[in-house]
Structure 1
Amino acid sequence: MVTMVRAAALTHFSDVMRELGGDPDKALRQAGLRPALLREQDQLIDVAIVARLLEDAAQSTGCESLGLRMARHRQLSSFGAVSLLLLHQPTLRHALDTLVAHMHLVNESLLIHLEDAGDIVILREDFVLHGAMRQSVELAMGVLWRMCEALLRERWRPQGVSFSHAPPADLSEHRRMFRCRITFGAEFNGIACRAADLDEPNPLADPALARYALRLVEAMPAHRAASVGHQARRVIYLLLPSGNATCAGVAQGMGRSLRTLQRELDREGLSFSELLTEVRHELALRYLDHPHYGVGQIASMLGYASHSAFTRWFAAQFGCAPEAWRSRAQGLPRA
C-alpha cells in the first residue's frame, strides 16, 4: 500500500543541505524528485521516497541530525490549511486530537497517539511504513515538539523525549531542540508531558475561526477520507502492545460496530486477519532489527501472550525462529 505525504514535509531540506555543504538539487534528482517540487507544498509524494531521500542525505553529509535540523526551523504553517484549525483549538489536547483526525491530509504514514498514564501523557509517534528511517522519525518528533511549543510557548515544559533508535555520536542538536531528558533505545518514540499542560487554555483560540477553518479544510479539493483499511491498520498499530488489537477492539477504536467494520473491509477487498498479519509482519522485522529488544519483549509488543506463541507465528511466516532470523540478518553464525 503506497502512502503519501505533502511536499511540505521537505520544507527547509534545501537550506539544511546547503548549510552542511551538500547539493540539495542533486539529492532530489537522485531520489527521482524535481527540485521545483519543494515550492508545491500541497503536492503529494510517496512517503518511502521521502524517507530514503532524508537517509541518503544524512549519509552523504555525515550529519546524523539532518531531520532534526529541518524540524528546528518549522512553523505551525507547515501543516498547511490544517494549521489554522490547530491554532484556534481551545487546548493543546484539542489541537492534538484535531491533528490526529486530519493526519491523513498531512502524512498518511504517520501515527500520533495520546497515551494517558495518570498525571503524565505520552505523545507517541510511529510510522505505518516498514523500515521507517531515523531521519523521518526525528523530523516528525521535532515537528510535533515545535507545534506544541508554538501553542503553549513558555508553558511547554515536557518531562522527557524518547527515541527507539540508538543515540548519535553528537547530541548537541538534540539538546538544543528538546531541553529536557532524552532517552535513546526506548520501546517507543514519544514525548512525555504533564497531563495538566495539555489542558491549559489556548489564549489564541477563537471558536468562530475554528469553525471557519474546519469548513475550509472539509471543502478542500484535496480533502479525502482515509480508506477504512488504512484507518484499521493505524488502529492496529496503536492497539497491538496492549493486546487489544482484535477485530472488535479495532472497530471500537474506529467508532464502528464489529459488523460495520467487517462489511466495510469486505467492500475494499480486505479482511481483518490479513491486515493484522501485515502489521505484525512489518513490526516484527523492524523490532528484530533493534538489538536492544529481546524476543520476549517483541512478542509482548506485538500482542502475543507468550514467547512461544510469537515464535510459532514467526516460524510460519518466515520459515525460521526469530532468533535465527536475527542472527542471519546480523551476519552471525546460527546457534
Structure 2
Amino acid sequence: MHLVRAAALTGYVELAGILKLNPYPLLQAVGLPRACLNDQEMKISADAVRQLLEDSAAQAQVENFGLRLAENRLLSNLGPLALIVREGPTARKALEALVKYIRLHNEALNPRVEEEHGTVTVRPELRLERPVPARQAVELSLGVVGQALRTFLGDSWRPRAVCFAHGAPRDLSVHRRIFGSRVEFGRDFTGMVCNAEDLEQPVPHSDQLMAKYVRQYLDALLINRELSMSDRVRELLWLRVPSGTYSLEAMAKQLGVSGRTIERHLKQDGTSFSALLNQVRAEMVGQYVEAAGRPLYVIAELMGFSALSAFSRWFRDEFGCSPSEWRATAGQRRRAASESRLSG
C-alpha cells in the first residue's frame, strides 16, 4: 500500500464546508481517521485519499474538487521537501528536486520531466493499487506543481499549456484561473508544458549551503525507497504505451541492461513484463474511455492494440463490460459507489 503525508488533505475541511459537505462521514467511508486532519505528518493510504477526493467531487457535484484544493497550497505543505525545493538556484533545479524527492511526501506520485525543442513537460503518474478513477488526484497534483512554479516565477507566470487525458468539465473557470487560457482536454497525455527558458530564472534568496545539507538529509531518507526493476519498467510503460514504443527491447535499451536481465529481476519481484503491461493499460484506460469525445478506435491505438476488436475483448476480460458500456455508465457508477460507501 502506498502512503502519503496527511498534509495532502490541507484545506479539505474548509473546501468541504464551502461546498456544503459533511467531511467526517466521507472520511469514515474510505477508512481515514479524523486525526489525520490535525496531524500533517501522519502517513495515510494514498488510495483512500484518492477515493475521498472522487467521493467528495461526486457528492458536491463539482468536477474540479482536486484543483480547488490545489489553489491555496503553499510550499510548506510539502514538509521537509519544501526546504530543498525552495533552495534551488533556478526554477528548473527546484522542479528537479520536487520530482526527485516527491516520494518522501507521496509514495503514490511519481512525476516525470521531459525536455524537447525548448519545452519542458511535467507528467504526473499516480501509482494506483487498482484501475480506478483518479481525475481529482491528477488535477490536484498538477495544480500543486503549477502553484510551486508560480512561487518562483511570479504570480503572473502561466505554463505554455496544460493537457489532460480526461474530458473537459462544464465549468473551466478554476482551470483557467490556475493554469491560464491554454488548458486542453481529451489529449493523449496528462502534463504541464513549460517554456524551458522560463525555468532558468534564478530563485531569489536561495541558499546553496543550506541546500547541500538538506539534500544530504533527504538522500539518506531515500536510501530505503529505491525503485525495484518492476517499478522502473512500470514507470517507462506509463510514458511509452501511448507512443507505441513499449517493447521489452525498448525498455532494456533505455535502462542499459539486457531483456533477459529485466525478465530475471521481474521474476524475482513476482511479476512479468506482460503482467506489468496489462496492469498499466488497465490503469490508464479508464481516463481515456471516460472522455466521451475520444473515439474508441483511437483509444485502442493508444493502448497498443492493432484493432478495436482486440481492444474490446481485452477490456471486457478486464472490466466485465464493453468500452462503450463502461463509458455510458461511468457517472452512474461513480455516484453509486460513493453512496454505497457513505451508507455502509
Alignment partners' CA distance in 1, 2:119 and 2:125:
19
Q: How does 1:282-301 map to 2 (within 5 A)?
A: 282-301=283-302
8 A contact 2:281–2:303 mirrored in 1:
yes
Question: What is the rounded CA distance, in whole Å, between the counterparts of 2:61 and 2:163 in structure 1?
Answer: 23
Q: 1:253 to 1:274 in 2, by over 3 A?
A: same
Q: Distance in 2 between matches of 1:319 and 1:20?
A: 38
Deviation at 1:236, TM superposition (A): 1.2
Q: Does 2:325 correspond to 1:328?
A: yes
Residues 10, 331 of structure 1: alpha-carbon distance in 2 compared, 3 angstrom cutoff:
closer
How far did residue 34 of structure 1 move?
Answer: 1.1
Instruction: Identify if the C-alpha distance between structure 1 residues 3 and 246 changes in structure 2 by more than 3 Å, giving closer, same or farther.
Output: farther
Residues in 1 aligned to 2:314 and 2:174: alpha-carbon distance in whole angstroms = 43
Matches within 5 A, 1:1-335: 2-129=1-128, 130-154=131-155, 156-220=157-221, 224-254=225-255, 258=259, 260-304=261-305, 307-308=306-307, 311-312=309-310, 315=313, 318=316, 325-330=322-327
Comparing 230-239 with 95-104, greater Cα deviation is found at: 95-104
Counterpart CA distance in 1 for 2:107 and 2:253 is 21
Distance change (3 Å), C-alpha of 1:331 and 1:298: closer
Tell me which moved more, 283-292 or 62-71: 283-292
- In 2, are the aligned partners of 1:289 and 1:326 still within 8 Å (CA)? no
Q: Please, which runs of 5 or more residues in structure 1 have no aligned partner?
A: none
Q: CA deviation at 1:52?
A: 1.4
With over 3 angstroms needed to count, the CA separation of the structure-2 counterparts of 1:91 and 1:263, relative to structure 1, is: farther
- Partner AA of 1:269 in structure 2: G
Note closer, same or farther for the CA distance 1:213–1:221 as it changes in structure 2 (3 Å cut).
same
Deviates more, 1:87-96 or 1:7-16: 87-96
Counterpart CA distance in 2 for 1:255 and 1:199 is 30
Tell me the distance in 1 between the aligned counterparts of 2:158 and 2:96. Answer: 19
Secondary structure of 1:102's aligned partner? helix
- Greater shift, 136-145 or 175-184, is seen at 175-184
1:46-104 per-residue CA deviation (whole Å, 9 max, x = no partner) reads: 22211111121122233332212211111112222121111122322222222222232
Alignment partners' CA distance in 1, 2:257 and 2:89: 27
Q: CA 1:155 to 1:63, structure 2 compared with 1: closer, same or farther past 3 Å?
A: closer
For these two proteins, the number of residue pairs brought into alignment is 326
Quote the RMSD (CA, aligned, Å). 2.9
d(CA) in 2 for partners of 1:100 and 1:138?
Answer: 16
State the Cα distance separating 1:153 from its structure 2 match: 2.0
CA contact (8 A) 1:103 1:110 kept: yes
What's the CA shift for 1:225? 2.5
Contact 1:86 1:95 survives alignment (8 Å): yes
TM-score norm. by structure 2 comes to 0.83
Query: Alpha carbons of 1:238 and 1:331: their partners in 2 closer, same or farther (altered >3 Å)?
Result: closer
CA distance in 2, matches of 1:4, 1:234: 18
Q: Give per-residue Cα distances to partners, 1:262-288, cap 9 Å, x unaligned.
A: 443232222222212221233234423
Between 1 and 2, higher relative CO (CA 8 Å, sep ≥ 6) is seen in: 2
Deviation at residue 161 of structure 1 after TM alignment: 2.0
Which amino acid in the other structure matches residue 34 of structure 1?
P
Change (3 A) 1:221 1:97: closer
Q: Give the letter for the 1:327 counterpart.
A: S
* Corresponding letter in the other structure for 1:209: M
* Closer/same/farther in 2, CA of residues 312 and 80 from structure 1, 3 Å limit: same
Give 1:148 deviation, angstroms.
0.9
Q: Residue 127 of structure 1: SS of its match in structure 2? A: coil
Distance 1:259 1:80, change over 3 A: farther
Alignment partner of 2:35: what SS?
helix
Amino acid at match of 1:325: S
Kept in 2, the 8 Å contact 1:121–1:194? The answer is yes
Q: Give percent identity, aligned residues only.
A: 34
